[in-house]
A and B are shown apart, each in its own frame.
Chain A
Amino acid sequence: MSEFAVELRNVVKRFITPEGHEMVAVDHVNLQIRHGEFFSLLGPSGCGKTTSLRMIAGFELPSEGEVLIDGQPQGKKPPYMRPVNTVFQNYALFQHMTVFENVAFGLEMEKVPKEEIRRRVGEALEMVKLSGMERRRPRQLSGGQQQRVALARALVKRPKVLLLDEPLGALDLKLRKEMQLELKALQKEVGITFIFVTHDQEEALTMSDRIAVMNQGKVLQIGSPMEIYERPNNRFVADFIGETNFVEGEVRSMEGEWAQIYIPAWGRELSGRAGPGLQVGQKAWLSIRPEKIRLLDEPRVNESIQGRILDVSYVGADTRLFLEVSGVRLKVWEQNRLSSLEATHFYRAGDAVYLALFRENVLILRRE
């Protein structure tokens, strides 16, 4: 067994648009996906995540570079020669076949004996909780059930890697949340490497062991959900995953993993964790998550900054405050630990507040 389940080495995919322009969909992508990992490709539409997945499946061939599955270079192998299976966004269930025939299709192609097919299809359907639905047609099933059939159809082949192309996109929110947990549990159970394509950052954070964030054909950052959220490498990742406040500034000094940034709008220096590639004298972004800004009623800490509340929106678990701090707008999420009906925790537009930006919560990112 090779070290990685799937490896992409310097993979480039170029397309010619119908207008005759060349378009780089995937731009020198390197990925190393470990065995048994739940790996997500996350990014906005058109970022190259689906194209990357399709190159692993063999539906597209790379213009440059190499795709390896379990250490084997795939070259120009067609999809039916690759030890991976795909769950499609629209499920692509064969409408003219029953659920049983759909799931059995892949085993028939392998010339598995009839008895074994019956047994394995039965097990696969049981695994996705669809026993008893063998005779139904895909059209007679709900969206969630169709999704499970697609999953069973792919898993019954016992692939080395399962590729999932936004498989939950067509489901409604509640079902999607259920399926996220179920899919994650299923992956643990079967121990197969999952490569999951999604544009939903929350979905990626919930399910993945590791995430690769992509934009414009490039991989911007690879890491665990926590690393991606807490230590984004650059402004795009910080902005795409969750919400972030950005304040313009200039790097004044650096010491180890810490940097000092001067914020002209506030006329003061702040300290924060230095992002990659940062240099003294460079323009930079101060970046801080809205839930990581501490609100104070009075200027207690000497670093606290005065601001004014522009707008308040109460969303149950949080109160979302929109502040103006010397010409800079900031978002602050305050968790409603105490009932918001208590007068002491009731924020009003126009009130003055003091905020503290602790350096552990501040990231200083390069401005490109």
Chain B
Amino acid sequence: MNPYQRSWFVRLATILVYFFLYAPIVILILFAFNASRTNITFQGFIPYGERLVMEGSLVRASPCGPFHWFCELAKNREVTHAARNTLSIAFTSTLISTIIGTMAALALQRYEFRLKTFSQISLYIPIVIPEIVMGIGILVLFTQLFSLLNSLLGLSGDARLGLGLGTVTASHIAFSIPFVTLVVQARLHGFDKSYEEAAMDLGANEWVTFWRVTFPMILPGVLSGALLAFTLSLDDFVITFFTTGPGATTLPIYVYGLLRRIITPQVNALSALWVSVVFLAVLAIQRLENRQV
């Protein structure tokens, strides 16, 4: 038996790590059920069908009971709009970055070309450089590009190109590609080219070989890359903050805006939902990663 397994130190360290990781999340979720408007201390759960006094103001009994704040959230137009933005950006950027990222991984695996090492290393750069630098960089790029295009094409008024859903989506695609590529590459590592050769040997051309053999074999890697891209896009604050425009508020941006005013349990309810979605996505990634080729 492993001698470390019974050591009190290892147990304590494990407990502490889990505590620091999960206590904030547990508290956050707990406060989503708080019978308090200001959400400074926990006032207990909201009971079903009772009139409730919250910090002085009378609240009519909520049909949702303890889920009062979730119902309030659903009624909140701004939240639903931001959620819709967030999801549409996440889906679009995931789809496109997964396609491009997978193609890049395949190219890096298969072909020998000049600047191959450079291409490989340049994939890590967007991952390691501070997000704020990326954000500012993308912002400068877009504003310069748009002012040039606007003056060249003589666009004015509403027709003018500007920041919005499009720019946010484009920048999410950009920062997701390296992650997708690296995940798919890890999966391709050890992918024997003899499978593709066998398919071609049996009469399949390159296109058929890809769809009948290569793609099904790398699909778990592609899906886990896509899920990673999806959660990254869902979470992103910094780059979105720089590239968003009117009408393109995403959930992280919206929550940040709320926090500057008052922390209501609505934020907690939103966060609780969010954590659940991301948690499920991570579980899905894990299951895919463990599946064998």
Give complex CA distance A106, B204 in Å: 8
The count of chain A contact residues (Cβ–Cβ below 8 Å) is 24
Could you tell me if A79 and B208 are in contact, using CB atoms closer than 8 angstroms? Answer: no
Give complex CA distance A78, B201 in Å: 9
Residues of B within 8 A of A (CB): 192, 194-195, 197-206, 208, 212-213, 216-217, 293
Give complex CA distance A93, B192 in Å: 11
Could you tell me if A59 and B199 are in contact, using CB atoms closer than 8 angstroms? Answer: no
Residues of chain A within 8 A (CB-CB) of B217 are: 94-96
Could you tell me if B201 and A86 are in contact, using CB atoms closer than 8 angstroms? Answer: yes
Q: How far is the CB of B83 from chain A (nearest CB, A)?
A: 36
Which residue in chain A gives the minimum CB-CB distance to B202? A106
Which residue in chain A gives the minimum CB-CB distance to B204? A109
Residues of chain A within 8 A (CB-CB) of B194 are: 88-90, 92
- Set B203, B206, B208: member contacting A157, Cβ < 8 A: B203
Could you tell me if B203 and A109 are in contact, using CB atoms closer than 8 angstroms? Answer: yes
Residues of chain B within 8 A (CB-CB) of A58 are: 200
Given contacts A92-B197, A106-B203, A154-B201, 10 further A-B contacts (CB under 8 A): A78-B200, A80-B205, A94-B198, A94-B213, A94-B217, A96-B217, A105-B204, A106-B202, A110-B203, A153-B202
- Set B195, B201, B208: member contacting A94, Cβ < 8 A: B195
For the complex of A and B, list the 10 residue pairs with the smallest distance between their C-beta atoms, beginning with the closest: A109-B203, A106-B202, A92-B198, A92-B194, A79-B200, A96-B216, A86-B201, A80-B203, A88-B194, A79-B201
Could you tell me if B198 and A109 are in contact, using CB atoms closer than 8 angstroms? Answer: no
Interface residue ranges of A159-207 to B (CB < 8 Å): none
Which residue in chain A gives the minimum CB-CB distance to B219? A96
Residues of A within 8 A of B (CB): 57-59, 78-80, 84-86, 88-90, 92-96, 105-106, 109-110, 153-154, 157
Given A95-B293, A96-B216, also A88-B198 (CB < 8 A) = yes
Could you tell me if B200 and A80 are in contact, using CB atoms closer than 8 angstroms? Answer: yes
Q: How far is the CB of B215 from chain A (nearest CB, A)?
A: 10
Which residue in chain A gives the minimum CB-CB distance to B216? A96
Residues of chain B within 8 A (CB-CB) of A109 are: 202-204, 208
Residues of chain A within 8 A (CB-CB) of B206 are: 78
